[in-house]
Amino acid sequence: MSAHVVVIDTRARRAQIKVQPNTYLSDVLSEACKRFDVDSHQYALKSGNKVIDLSQPFRLSGLIGGTKLELVQESRSPSPVSVALQEEGGNRDIERFLSSTTLWQILRKFEVNDTKRNLTGRSYPNAEVGSGRLCYEQPVMHIMGRDLVTFDDLQKTLGSLGIKHGSTLIRLKFLKTETPMEEAKARIDEYFKSIQPKEDESGNAGGQAPTTSTSQVSTPADEEETHLNGSLLEEDAQPANGQVPASATSDETTTRPAHRRISVYAPPSSSTPQAARHNVAPEDFEPSIAQAKAHQARLNKNVHNRRLPSDAEIAVQEQALKEKLSQIKEVEIKIRFPDQTTIVGTFTYEETVAELAHFVRSVLISPHEPFELTWRGDKGIQHLPQDHPTKKLIKDVGLKGKMLMNFQWDEVASLEARSGQLLKEEYVNKAQQIPIPMAFQGVETEMPDVPAGKGDEKEKGKGDKKGLPRWLKLPGKK
């Protein structure tokens, strides 16, 4: 059963595109951009106020026939995507790529990481073509429910398939073809030569296809570790006379880099929380009169109807919030790992999301594995926007004061990273127990005796007098 959707661009031009239940929305975008003569890599589809996921087919998108979609311009800078490549043998490797990376570049990147792996140049002897002739084994990728088989399909980018952020899984298998190996190899070499100028302009940062020389390949995690631990390497190289700086002997605080204060705390030795080990009097949990009055006043305030703020008032509130955040010089972030180990670090006003992610990767044994940082804010559980690495932690994300973030592995992370040790040995050895402060001894304050007024005595007297109410008495009786 076929249907159609209507795509409207910024010039109010319309394009009616027929769709099938299995038609992917990325194909709808490509067809619309082809009719409007624009580049599909710079646009996205929007339904109402929501940008739709282009990686889904039409039947799973929640759209109905005749839906009007807006063609909106997207950010020109590509965003990082975590890609997990799984072969038929069960091996799974994870790398981060930009959404502008093609599938051929992804395969070449995994080849460079493991020199023994051959993903783009496999061949097999085919006696039907000729004795001793080798034919090409075409890599076939299964992504988001679709199979990419042909040579042109593998030239598509992640963004053209609708995968522009987050993570995805690619299942790889090989199809035996009758194409001679020499012809296939020449075509592959010609393709990589054609995209070589683009790689030279943009560089190999962010997970793009690197050069074929493994000695020149530098992964992002290596650059992050060099950047964050640069001061440590310099300090290790300086002491030739055996003298160690005083700051290096402190087990309580380590510095990576020189301007950041870092504290590492070991997980608790007992499964019982510290709060449950102390005997607390039941009276401590009873609310005081002041607390009860404040709670009642808060409830009374919430039941009254309140006028929604106007646009001018909202702008004033946003401006006041920006001014408040601009006065914050630094924020202290505590990162709690699944094994209950915590690391506390300070970050300044100018530092970004990318620097926080780099800091976390520098302490991990498996820095290549994707992860998430979450915390509980005013709007519930919030995630660190790693897709926007240039956002500032205080100004854009809104971090302030002392923040507690929970570390968790991404769903595509390998089982080895999930089950193994998280932190590097140097941080595990420097970990200390969390200092437990002395229990706060609360001072009971006596409430002043309030003399009863005349009205209270009158009400008390009325309460003592017993009798039938006036409305219950029979007529004629007083």
In contact, 200 and 210? CB cutoff 8 Å: no
Give bridge partners of residue 7 from the DSSP assignment: 15, 69
* CA–CA dist 220, 226 (Å, integer): 10
User: For the chain, which ranges sit under pLDDT 70?
Assistant: 1, 76, 90, 129-131, 196-259, 437-478
Two tokens, residue 322: 């920006």
* Confidence at residue 470, expressed as pLDDT on a 0 to 100 scale: 66
Give the whole-angstrom CA distance, residue 365 versus residue 337.
13
Q: How far apart are CA 167 and CA 95, in angstroms?
A: 10
Query: Would you state the pLDDT for residue 468?
Result: 64
State both tokens at 89. Answer: 């043998």
Q: At what angle do helices 220-228 and 353-363 cross, to 10 degrees?
A: 90
Specify the amino acid at residue 76: R
pLDDT of residue 422: 86
What is the C-alpha to C-alpha distance for residues 155 and 246, in angstroms, rounded to an integer?
Answer: 56
**Model pLDDT for residues 120-173, shown as the tens digit of each residue:** 888 888 877 666 788 888 899 988 888 888 888 888 888 888 888 788 888 888
Handedness of CA 54, 57, 61, 67 (dihedral sign): positive
Which run of H or of E encompasses 83?
Answer: strand 80-86
Neighbours of 103 (CB within 10 A): 22
Rounded Cα distance, 382 and 264, in Å: 24
Separation in Å, CA 414 to CA 109, 296, 362: 18, 51, 18
SS3 256: coil
Strand order in the sheet with 342-348: 262-265, 342-348, 330-336, 402-409, 371-377, 380-383
354, containing H or E segment: helix 353-363
Say what the pLDDT of residue 92 is: 81
Rg of the chain taking only CA atoms, in angstroms: 32
DSSP 191-251: HHHHHHHHHHHH-STTS----S-GGG---HHHHHHHHHTHHHHHHHHS-SSS---GGGG-S
pLDDT score for 228: 37
What is the CA 53 to chain-centroid distance, rounded?
17
Task: Please identify which residue in the block is written with the tokens 């194409």.
Answer: 179
Q: How far apart are the first and last CA of the chain?
A: 86
Residues 6 or more apart whose Cβ sits within 8 Å of residue 259: 348
Quote the pLDDT of residue 478: 53
The CB density around residue 157, as the number of other CB atoms within 10 Å, is: 19
